Amino acid sequence: MLVLLPPSETKRSGGGSASLDLEALALPGLRPQRELVLDALISLSADAAAAARALGLGATQHHEVARNAVLRSAPTMPAIDRYTGVLYDALDAASLDPPARRWLGANTLIHTAPLGPVGALDRIPAYRLGAGVSLPGAPPLRRVWADAVTAALSASPSRFVLDLRSEAYVALGPVPASLPSVYVRVVSEGPEGTVRALNHFNKHAKGALVRALADSRPRIGSVRAFSRWADAAGLRTRSGRTGELQLFA
């Protein structure tokens, strides 16, 4: 199976001495798009005020521009360790044992705005770029990524895709119709069986779900198989709209 995760706005600083190696990233066919977005983001960073406006940065966040300016030479660390925030705190990848981390590396992609989907253990620098940002001199990110990512996923050997991304990142690379997949929506149950989507607990539930998958490393090739595994793991799910599965937090 292949798990697709969203990134997080918050990231750890630092990393090892190795710089970004585009050839070493998952889905290497995306290199032209990666080069295009990186070049546009680095070029934008030459004007700190313009970059802050384009990225929607507040007065205390201008250091993010400096991060973007050195993306090609900055320290890197595994993507799964780079991100912080509710989802990644719940996943707590640093505390997983080596087999669980290897499972993440083989079965999980994190969909970034500057690099597209990268492997969980791919080494990336800290950056600031959201899915909705328009970069001067470059096409809209949706135009850059959507078709290219869909084509790259269609060529992957995965039999089943569990899509945990936010809708903004789904738009940057829809799962191809040729791959069995399901989009997970985290919900809570109210009076008389009504359900509502969650925000904060949505992220926490997704992080906990991926941690449980990494710990147990099941073989899952269909929505039905995933639902059976979830039931056995004490997770409550049910079918939602077409192509969606509801996960109760």
pTM: 0.95
The per-residue pLDDT for range 45-58, each reduced to its tens digit, is 999 999 999 999 99
Mean pLDDT of 126-140: 97
pLDDT of residue 193: 65
Q: Is the dihedral of CA 28, 33, 37, 38 positive or negative?
A: positive
Alpha-helical (H) ranges within the chain are: 31-44, 48-55, 63-69, 79-82, 86-91, 98-107, 141-154, 167-170, 200-216, 223-232
The per-residue pLDDT for range 11-35, each reduced to its tens digit, is 999 999 999 999 999 999 999 999 9
Angle formed at CA 86 by CA 80 and CA 90, multiple of 5 degrees: 65
Angle formed at CA 247 by CA 113 and CA 8, multiple of 5 degrees: 25
Range of the domain at 116: 2-248
Calpha distance 221→115 (Å, rounded):
27
N residues, the chain = 249
Q: Based on the structure, what is the number of domains in the chain?
A: 1
Phi/psi of residue 113, nearest 5 degrees: -80, -40
